[in-house]
Amino acid sequence: MDSMTGFATRRGGNGVFEWTWDLRSVNGKGLDLRLRVPDWVTGLDQGLRKKLQSALARGSVQLSLRVSKAAADGPAVLDHTALENIFAISTLIQAEAGKRDIPIAPLSVAEIWGRLGTSDTNLNEDQVKALLARLLADADGLIADLKAMRSTEGAALQGILSGQLDQFTTLMDAARTSLGGRKEEQAQILHAALARLETTNVEPDRLAQELALLAVKSDVAEELDRLDGHVAAARDMVSKNQPVGRKLDFLMQEFNREVNTLCSKSANGPLTQTGLEMKVLVDQMREQIQNVE
């Protein structure tokens, strides 16, 4: 089991350029990729997206790459057009913030440089291709680092969910124990209902139908049996080495439905209390499952 939460950073260089990667992911309904990479390295965005899509199934993923000239290779070439765009956008933001009396701190040189990055119009096509190959190769290690952290987080989630399923099984045992004392209460309810019906001159067949319906409505054995199956399915999913987050989330909806029905049928203090504890535990499991890939 893998988590959708992870972080990885990496530095590299090829003698001419130096670069810094930043890759992080959090939970998401699907796989949402947001990349910020130098657009002058043709094919980099598409190549990175393909690698991430092959390695990850779910998560909101953000990747940023800063490339700069290596110090030994001489001064960097400033992209004046990109710089003018940054200044123009900053001016607009400050103007809009001023209209709303929102204070905006001025950009520092480091922040501008981090946003601007470095481009080099003197690079020929072969040099760009070589840089692209090095970056894509280096990205493999970066993604492996992220997956390792997601795996570590997933192992922790696996332990938590297994423990919660154990707690749920204990609560189900308690619910079945409560059924013993509940039988007398249910018998009294049925006898009282029978007494009321007999005074209304109900036909024997109709009387039998009403009593049978009342008995069915108060029987929770079916809900507990279905919950047994849900627990077994959840344990199987938690033990698998594959993305199961969506399936687990759907299964928790089934857990919740059966527990709600059990509580509505309870009519017994101890059983109701156990059902409420089940509901709390199901909510806790659903919170953990939101981070499962």
| Through-space distance between the first and last CA atoms of the chain, rounded to whole angstroms | 7
The confidence score (pLDDT) of residue 100 equals 85
The confidence score (pLDDT) of residue 149 equals 96
pLDDT band at 237 (very low <50, low <70, confident <90, very high): very high
The confidence score (pLDDT) of residue 191 equals 64
Is the pLDDT at 256 greater than 80? The verdict is: yes
The confidence score (pLDDT) of residue 202 equals 61
Q: Amino acid identity, residue 93?
A: I
What does the alpha-carbon distance between residue 207 and residue 200 come to, in Å, rounded to a whole number?
10
Region of residue 94 (left: phi > 0; alpha: psi -120 to 50; beta: else):
alpha
Residues of the chain with CATH 1.20.140: 155-289
The confidence score (pLDDT) of residue 71 equals 63
pTM: 0.70
Please state the rounded mean pLDDT for residues 257-271: 85
The mean pLDDT of the chain is: 84
The 10s digit of each residue's pLDDT in 146-155 is: 999 999 999 9
| CB burial string 136-168: b at 16+ within 10 A, e below | bebbeebbebbbebbeebbeebbeebeebbeeb
Pinpoint the alpha helices (H) of the chain: 44-55, 80-99, 109-116, 125-198, 204-218, 221-239, 245-265, 269-289
The confidence score (pLDDT) of residue 154 equals 94
Q: Which CATH architecture has domain 155-289?
A: Up-down Bundle (1.20)
Residue bearing the bigger pLDDT, 62 or 39: 62
Least confident residue range of 8-12, 21-25, 176-180: 176-180
- Under 8 Å between Cβ of 113 and 158: no
The confidence score (pLDDT) of residue 147 equals 96
